[in-house]
Amino acid sequence: MDCAKLVELLTNLLGEDKVSAAHAVLEEHSIDKWLVGHPPDVVVFAESTADVVAVMKFASGNGVAVTTRGAGAGYVGGAVPVEGGIVISVARMGAIREINTADGVAVAEPGVITGDLQDAVRKLGWFYPPDPASLKECSLGGNVATNAGGPHCLKYGVTRHYILGLEVVLADGSVARLGGRCHKDKTGFDLIGMFVGSEGLLGIVTEITCRLIPHPPARAMASASFASFAEAAAAVQAILGAGFLPAALEISDKFTLGAARDHVGTELIPDGESHLLVEIDGQTESVNSEIRSVVSLLHELGCLSLETAEDEAGCEAIWEIRRAFSYSLRATGLTKLNEDIVVPRGKLVELVAFCERLQEECGMPIACFGHAGDGNIHVNIMVEGIDDPAVRARSDEALDALFKAVLALGGRVSGEHGIGIAKKRWFGEALDSGALDLHTRLKAALDPDGILNPGKFV
Ligand SMILES: Cc1cc2nc3c(=O)[nH]c(=O)nc-3n(C[C@H](O)[C@H](O)[C@H](O)COP(=O)(O)OP(=O)(O)OC[C@H]3O[C@@H](n4cnc5c(N)ncnc54)[C@H](O)[C@@H]3O)c2cc1C
């Protein structure tokens, strides 16, 4: 169908204010935070489940591609409409419909910004833990579609663990309401689990019921530096082995610390070639006692420097060090190819040793930091002159080598960002043939004409 006809029919269906083919709007909806974009033919701004249903009935009847967009803060090109067609934005579906602390649930539309939900429940003393670093800009629907995680997922789990109910519109426009507001539910298959992480390929999420837990009243932090990455990684194992389950355990390597020293100054970033951040939360007395024990353990393990914080302001100051890493790497002026690979925790040292060899071989610096407790490390290949095809080919080779090594270590190609188009090349290798086949059969069953988010990894 030609674009003009598509716009005309959708405008008749939904009204002018919900449909746009203006150049600036198409451009804005052609790309996320990854490198490559492609424009849609038209953007639809859904305001209700009924709008989504109408679009999907129209699209399936006419064989038009539909790509769902939350806030467009994805890192893998998931919301990029690679085959054009319709982008359906759920950004206007931004209402928090209910927060019910007696039931421990919040019901929200998919366009709600994750940080806004966290703030709203926190005001009532409650906690929605999934904390992607993008939480001030990404949407709850996008988090569901990518099964987003963050530093606090070590103790609290990822998005999947906080989704009790979903309303989903399928490719043919039918609506399924899954789960509900019960904290346990074994009534049929785990269909919620099937949609969480499905990256918009199986259906469009139009309502989310989240599990809330009480907010821990106290927290404390330790920030320790070590002479080597291996010593910091050994400290991660020792802390867990001693029976502590910190809210966060974040590690960083030599290149990352060097970039941070250049960007924010040496006085803020401790000496040493690796850094470990430990956060403990819970009731005040237990937090005070646990942090003391963790500090003694870190001293025993030979840390070079150690700082602690036992109040909100102090903890935030330590988190500032961690937050500085990403910005410091960007400030190097190099393009940061951020791969959110994950390995079994016992393989962290091998992974970082491999990255040190790889940077020598490919001639591009590699920075590693992230969620050590989960083995989910952000490996950043730092590229100069990414637009040069020869440089691009070299960085692609480095990525190939990285993913091959990760798989050989028993790891996975994505711990949190998803596959999208960025990791499509490695998806086939990353899964066993039975799992790949199951992906294909599920997609064919739910979206037989392949109109939902086409051109992606299935
Ligand atoms: C600075 C920065 C830091 C980040 N840190 C983290 C991090 O710590 N942890 C982490 O997990 N991720 C992180 N990310 C990646 C990203 O923020 C997450 O993947 C987030 O969940 C994307 O949400 P979004 O609303 O922006 O989704 P979008 O980019 O709009 O879409 C992402 C995918 O979800 C699909 N989708 C969106 N909404 C729906 C819906 N309602 N129904 C069905 N499918 C839908 C899209 O089709 C697409 O495939 C980071 C990104 C940035 C830019």
pLDDT tens per residue, range 237-253: 999 999 999 999 999 99
CA angle 426, 373, 405 (to 5 degrees): 30
Report the chain's C-alpha Rg in angstroms.
Answer: 23
Once rounded to an integer, what is the mean pLDDT over residues 195-202? 98
Asked whether 443 and 101 are in contact (CB, 8 A), the reply is no
Distance, in Å, from the CA atom of 96 to the CA atom of 254, rounded to the nearest integer, reads 42
Query: What integer is the mean pLDDT of 258-279?
Result: 90
Residues of the chain with CATH 3.30.70.2740: 333-449
Say yes or no: domain 216-331 is CATH 3.40.640.10.
Answer: no
- Nearest alpha-carbon partner for 277 in 349, 222, 232, 352: 222
Please, what is the average pLDDT of the chain? 95
Give the Å distance between the CA of 81 and the centre of ligand 1: 15
Q: What is the CATH number of domain 333-449?
A: 3.30.70.2740
- Which atom of ligand 1 sits closest to the CA of residue 145? 34
Per CATH, domain 3-89 is 3.30.43.10: yes
To test ligand 1's pocket by mutation, which of 134, 166, 204 has the most ligand atoms within 8 angstroms of CB?
134
Looking at the chain, which residues constitute the CATH 3.30.465.10 domain(s)? 96-214
90: which 2 tokens?
Answer: 């759920």
How far is ligand 1, taken at its centre, from the CA of residue 195, in Å? 14
How many angstroms separate the most distant Cα atoms in the chain? 71
Ligand 1: nearest atom to the Cα of 158: 11
Q: Work out whether the CA dihedral 254, 256, 259, 264 comes out positive or negative.
A: negative
pLDDT at 223: 94
How far does the centroid of ligand 1 lie from the alpha carbon of residue 412, in Å?
Answer: 18
Residue ranges, CATH 3.30.70.2190, the chain: 216-331
**Centroid of ligand 1 to alpha carbon of 138 (angstroms):** 6
Cα(341)–Cα(296) distance, integer angstroms: 32
21 burial via Cβ count (<10 Å: 0-12, 13-18, 19+): middle
Q: Under CATH, to which class is 96-214 assigned?
A: alpha beta
Is a pLDDT exceeding 90 seen at residue 22?
yes
Mean pLDDT over 96-108 rounds to: 98
Q: How would you label 374-390 residue by residue, b for 16+ Cβ within 10 Å and e otherwise?
A: bbbbbbbbbbeeeeeee
Instruction: Return all residues near 258 (Cβ < 8 A) that are at least 6 apart.
Output: none
pLDDT (tens digit per residue) in 302-346: 999 999 999 989 999 898 888 888 889 989 999 999 999 999 999
Judge whether residue 15 has pLDDT over 90: yes
Pocket of ligand 1 (CB under 6 A): 32-33, 67-75, 78-79, 90, 110, 132-134, 138-139, 141-143, 145-146, 148-150, 199-200, 204-205, 416-417, 453
Looking at the chain, the domain(s) classified CATH 3.30.43.10 span 3-89
Between the CA of 243 and the centroid of ligand 1 the distance, in Å, is 33
Measured in Å, residue 113 CA sits from the centre of ligand 1 at 11
Between CA 295 and CA 323 the distance in angstroms is 22
